[in-house]
């Protein structure tokens, strides 16, 4: 069975710990992922959108992936996925190859995203080149579909063609479209795919449609509630997550999640890297109050 078929459950779209001068805090990362494991996460995606992946150089991203894998010293079953998409196809190839060489359990990879009107064949060709040059035959490659941010949707035709060409390496998809219809259509079109839902408000719907789990920002702070959805042990957990996602949608996500980790769990007050800004004092108070009401915390 390809590795991707074995990946499932609640994954955090992990924030990236930063020092006060906005450098990656590599020493903090394994402990932070251990914190997520203790709270019920099966794994984490590092260097995704919530992890500010596009704000780091390829060398910084390699160092972050290497540090993240240190979580296995205390949590050997914790899965680590790496975000490897860059605007440059060459850098994406380099980073994807490095992630597998370092031992990541898989990569979650954006299409080249600077040009917004490329033809489907250009998207297919880009992913084909990455798969040929950078993904080992037993690798675990996930497409990262987040068109509202990347501006480049991944066509079903691209996925179907490359799954046929690379059946062992192409494992699945992270669907962050936040579109209920898209979630249903991906599951219907690719019933044997490992599909991770990227929107906390759609987790139950995605599971009903056949998703394998979630990779979300709120899993950083609310993984026990997401586990209630995953384990089907609560009738109200999805309502709480939907309310929380509605709150989060009104704030910049990386600094919002970092503030809540500090305010609620005593983690360091990690900053964010420009162009993002930390929340103001007023924003921090409003976010904490609104999120507590949403999660009934």
> Which of 6, 74, 90, 114 is labelled catalytic?
114
270: which strand partners? none
pLDDT in the model for residue 1: 43
Burial status of residue 50 (CB atoms within 10 A of its CB: 0-12, 13-18, 19 or more): buried
pLDDT in the model for residue 63: 98
| Catalytic status, residue 90 | no
CATH number at residue 36: 3.20.20.70
| Catalytic status, residue 174 | yes
> Which of 16, 49, 158, 271 is labelled catalytic?
49
The tens place of each residue's pLDDT in the chain, 297 residues long, gives 445 557 999 999 999 999 999 999 999 999 999 999 999 999 999 999 999 999 999 999 999 999 999 999 999 999 999 999 999 999 999 999 999 999 999 999 999 999 988 999 999 999 999 999 999 988 999 999 999 999 999 999 999 999 999 999 999 999 999 888 888 899 889 988 999 999 999 999 999 999 999 999 999 999 999 999 999 988 899 999 999 999 999 999 999 999 999 999 999 999 999 999 999 999 999 999 999 999 986
User: How many independent structural domains does the chain possess?
Assistant: 1
pLDDT in the model for residue 36: 98
Residue ranges in the chain assigned as alpha helix (H): 29-38, 58-68, 89-102, 120-134, 147-150, 156-165, 180-189, 203-209, 219-230, 237-248, 253-265, 281-295
| Catalytic status, residue 144 | yes
Signed CA dihedral, 101, 71, 60, 217: sign only = positive
d(CA 136, CA 297): 44
> Which of 79, 96, 158, 174 is labelled catalytic?
174
Answer left, alpha or beta for residue 37, where phi above 0 means left and psi between -120 and 50 means alpha: alpha
pLDDT in the model for residue 217: 98
Residue 222 belongs to domain spanning = 3-295
d(CA 292, CA 297): 5
pLDDT in the model for residue 244: 97
pLDDT in the model for residue 4: 52
pTM over 0.85: yes
> Which of 50, 79, 107, 144 is labelled catalytic?
144
d(CA 45, CA 15): 9
pLDDT in the model for residue 48: 97
Residue 154, classed as helix, strand or coil, is: coil
């Amino acid at each position: 069975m390809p590795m991707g078929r074995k990946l499932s459950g609640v994954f955090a779209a992990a924030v990236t710990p930063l020092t006060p001068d906005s450098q990656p805090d590599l020493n903090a990362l394994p402990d932070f992922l251990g914190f997520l494991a203790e709270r019920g996460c099966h794994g984490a995606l590092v260097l995704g959108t919530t992890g500010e992946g596009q704000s780091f150089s390829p060398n910084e991203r390699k160092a972050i992936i290497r540090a993240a894998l240190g979580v296995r010293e205390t949590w050997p079953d914790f899965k680590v996925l790496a975000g490897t998409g860059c605007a440059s196809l060459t850098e994406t190839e380099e980073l994807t190859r490095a992630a597998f060489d370092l031992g990541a359990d898989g990569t979650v990879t954006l299409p080249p995203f600077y040009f917004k009107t490329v033809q489907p064949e250009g998207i297919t060709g880009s992913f084909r080149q990455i798969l040929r040059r950078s993904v080992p035959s037993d690798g675990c490659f996930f497409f990262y579909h987040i068109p509202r941010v990347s501006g480049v949707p991944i066509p079903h035709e691209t996925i179907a063609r490359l799954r046929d060409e690379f059946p062992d390496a192409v494992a699945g998809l992270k669907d962050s479209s936040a579109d209920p219809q898209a979630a249903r259509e991906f599951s219907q079109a690719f019933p044997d795919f490992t599909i991770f839902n990227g929107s906390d408000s759609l987790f139950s719907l995605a599971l009903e449609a056949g998703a394998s789990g979630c990779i979300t920002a709120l899993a950083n702070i609310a993984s026990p509630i997401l586990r209630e959805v995953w384990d089907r042990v609560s009738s109200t957990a999805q309502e709480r997550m939907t309310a929380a996602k509605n709150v989060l949608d009104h704030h910049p996500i990386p600094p919002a999640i970092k503030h809540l980790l500090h305010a609620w769990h005593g983690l360091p007050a990690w900053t964010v890297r420009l162009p993002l800004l930390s929340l103001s004092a007023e924003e921090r108070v409003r976010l904490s109050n609104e999120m507590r009401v949403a999660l009934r915390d």
